[in-house]
Structure 1
Amino acid sequence: MENGRWVFVVCLFFIFAELQRCSGFDLRSSSEERDVDRVNELPGQSFNVDFAHYSGYVTVSEGHGRSLFYWLIEATGNASSKPIVLWLNGGPGCSSIGNGEAMEIGPFQVNSDGKTLHLSNYSWNQVANLLFIDTPVGTGYSYSNDSSDVLNNGDERTAIDSLEFLLRWLERFPEYRGREFYITGESYAGCHYIPQLAQAIVKYQAATGDYSINLKGLMVGNGLTDDYLNHLGAFQYMWTNGLISDATFNLLNTFCLFESYQHISPHCQKIFDIATEELGNIDQYSVFTSSCINSAASSTKLLKRMKVGRIGEQYDPCTEDYTTIYFNLPEVQQALHANPAVAQSKWKACNDFVDKHWKDSATSVLPIYPCLIHLGLRIWMISGDTDSLAPVTSTRYTINALKLPIVAPWRAWYDHGQVGGWTQGYLGLNFVSVRGAGHDIPMYKPDLAFAVIKAFLSGSSLPGPSEHGDS
């Protein structure tokens, strides 16, 4: 009888092992998964850090084998006392790992050789635990065993998968259950992923009573919240800054104001082409900075489809090139636990294929905001004022459309004695502009972006002229 019991146990072990091998079912405990995901050291890292970080995959669909890649970078100092900030990049199809972490708000940033790293002085993990997700599948290192998944991405499934990711990720990192949780990001993520995920979390909480995701607020950077209002603001911004002619400005306003960003008519496309020629070879996401002359991306006619989501350049306009080299290194992919099969294909900062095959995109996400405001969430809309495609004018039109009472007057805010931008408080929402910043605010003005995130997380006002505002 005893021998029979042992035979039964051994048989069960081999059955489950085969299930794991064939279907991706993971027998490891959450603590074991966490240990496997820990990153010990990155290639090209010549400095020590006083925080832990983890990267790997969370499967959001067992049937399809749909898995999202993440990178958790814990806070410096007492990480257990600090909130968790989720950062999302847009596109659709732009990697939050390569863009958000390596070029904007993370501690590990890539040098011009594409092989070594430096430690950012303005990393947001000084004030929060940072979680980056490559979403949806086809973005960065994220993948699916079902090739049709990459052809069927859209707003709705991205929100569902991101919520599923968070719930399963919290099983692996239970210490973050109930921790103050904020969603931040920019561009298509700012205008769509962030409010849509916030809405999905709220609905999930109402349906289940599960508040393990302790959502406290969201911060949207240069987001395309409403198609019409963004066109209105973008056309006006380009004209007032002398980027396009009177004739083209009039054509845009006459024929293209009501165009959908996903489906632009041939006639409007021709007008956008004219505007592109008039603009010249500039970075339309940061109109006053230089372009990367040697980069293939610099010659891309970005205005042709008026898409929001491609990354811009920082002081060194070729930073995307360096990052692309780094995340294609096999030793980097191994250190970050990227799936070898996925890593064999060329890693891109932004995957145009995802964007090209996007299935559903709301023409406006404004209707989501009244509910989120009613719940008392901390909501900030921030805007770099040198972006021509999702400009500060569009952000202001968007906020005005919500018809919120003003509770704090328009004023300049300061950092190190200099004007960092302008701000105005509304009932349930705060507007902040960042002076001299392009579309990807932390990339162009990391010091000012750091001042903003500190104020946002603390729930305090940005400094005035008599305050130090030291970053």
Structure 2
Amino acid sequence: MSLVYTQYDKIDIYNVYAPKCNTDESALSSSSKNTVEKTAKKFKRLRMFSGYDPCYSIHIEDYLNRIDVQKSLHANVSGWIKDRRWSICSDSVFDNYYDTIFTVRPIYSKLVKTGLRVWVYSGDMDGRVPIIGSRYWVEALGLPVKSQWQPWYLNSQVTGRFVEYEGLTLLTIRGGGHDVPQDKPAEALVLISSFLSDRQLPTENN
């Protein structure tokens, strides 16, 4: 994993085809270089297409650290945080969080058995939670296949692919990174709308 992260250092781990923010690292959220996990945290989630600033998250941090903005949000009202900046990734939370488990597969198995509809989606350009990993754990649930992998569409374009199991649907969003609604807002809306209305994703190219 250490070798993998040295390669991710050259690209955006949250969208492997997005432009990388090349702003001086000192301007980004603080990250320790002592561990592999912390090395990964310095990467920013970026917009994919030209016309968007790949360093947008820095601007968000600057905005949310303004006193007038914090006041309007009723954040840091006590004023006790004076020498610390709000950041997208919190080292203090990361460093003190130890509640981890080996796998959440049993939880998904229980949800499926209750009859709840479960959809799992991944942008196919996400390097943080790659679709191949999602496929492995979903297949490990051992659910019967209801329909094989097939494309779904938006505006006469293949938007991704999906497979239906008994009780669970796994789908991809073509060109999406870790934050699908950020990279592919129209596609994300179709996905969420289809789920909430209990409809299958559009499978006709029209």
Q: Given the two structures, how large is their TM-score scaled by the length of structure 1?
A: 0.39
| 1:456 maps to amino acid | F
Alignment CA distance shift 1:298-1:324 (3 Å): closer
Measured in 2, the distance between the counterparts of 1:309 and 1:417 equals 37
| 2:173 maps to amino acid | V
> What runs of 5+ residues in structure 1 fail to find an aligned partner?
1-271
- Report how far residue 413 of structure 1 moved: 0.4
Q: For residue 313 of structure 1, what is the aligned residue in structure 2?
A: 46
Measured in 2, the distance between the counterparts of 1:441 and 1:453 equals 11
- Report how far residue 276 of structure 1 moved: 3.0
1:322 aligns with 2:51: no
Alignment CA distance shift 1:308-1:446 (3 Å): farther
Larger helix proportion of the pair: 1
Q: What does 1:83-102 align with in structure 2 at a 5 Å threshold?
A: none
Deviations 1:271-292 (A, max 9, x none): x333333445111221111111
Measured in 2, the distance between the counterparts of 1:380 and 1:309 equals 30
Alignment CA distance shift 1:299-1:352 (3 Å): closer
Alignment CA distance shift 1:334-1:279 (3 Å): closer
Match of 1:360 among 83, 95, 99: 99
Match of 1:282 among 3, 7, 11: 11
Measured in 2, the distance between the counterparts of 1:426 and 1:395 equals 14
| 2:180 maps to amino acid | I
> What runs of 5+ residues in structure 2 fail to find an aligned partner?
none
- Report how far residue 295 of structure 1 moved: 4.9
Measured in 2, the distance between the counterparts of 1:322 and 1:376 equals 43
Deviations 1:356-409 (A, max 9, x none): 111221111111112111112221100011112310000000110000111122
Alignment CA distance shift 1:412-1:295 (3 Å): farther
| 2:70 maps to amino acid | Q
Alignment CA distance shift 1:427-1:384 (3 Å): same
How many percent identity over aligned positions? 35
Q: What does 1:117-156 align with in structure 2 at a 5 Å threshold?
A: none
Contact 1:281/1:299, CA 8 A, preserved across alignment: no
Q: For residue 39 of structure 1, what is the aligned residue in structure 2?
A: none
Deviations 1:17-47 (A, max 9, x none): xxxxxxxxxxxxxxxxxxxxxxxxxxxxxxx
1:395 aligns with 2:127: no
Measured in 2, the distance between the counterparts of 1:395 and 1:466 equals 26
Match of 1:422 among 135, 141, 161: 161
Secondary structure class of the residue paired with 1:340: coil
1:351 aligns with 2:90: yes
Contact 2:30/2:42, CA 8 A, preserved across alignment: no
Contact 1:284/1:388, CA 8 A, preserved across alignment: yes
Greater CA radius of gyration, 1 or 2? 1
Q: For residue 165 of structure 1, what is the aligned residue in structure 2?
A: none
Alignment CA distance shift 1:280-1:325 (3 Å): closer
Match of 2:22 among 285, 293, 300: 293
Q: For residue 212 of structure 1, what is the aligned residue in structure 2?
A: none
Contact 2:29/2:42, CA 8 A, preserved across alignment: no
Alignment CA distance shift 1:359-1:320 (3 Å): same
- Aligned pairs, how many? 195
Match of 1:304 among 21, 36, 57: 36
Contact 1:328/1:347, CA 8 A, preserved across alignment: yes
Contact 2:46/2:56, CA 8 A, preserved across alignment: yes
Q: For residue 196 of structure 2, what is the aligned residue in structure 1?
A: 457
| 1:313 maps to amino acid | L
Q: For residue 406 of structure 1, what is the aligned residue in structure 2?
A: 145
Measured in 1, the distance between the counterparts of 2:155 and 2:93 equals 41
1:433 aligns with 2:165: no
Q: Given the two structures, how large is their TM-score scaled by the length of structure 2?
A: 0.84
How much is the aligned-residue C-alpha RMSD, in angstroms?
Answer: 2.5
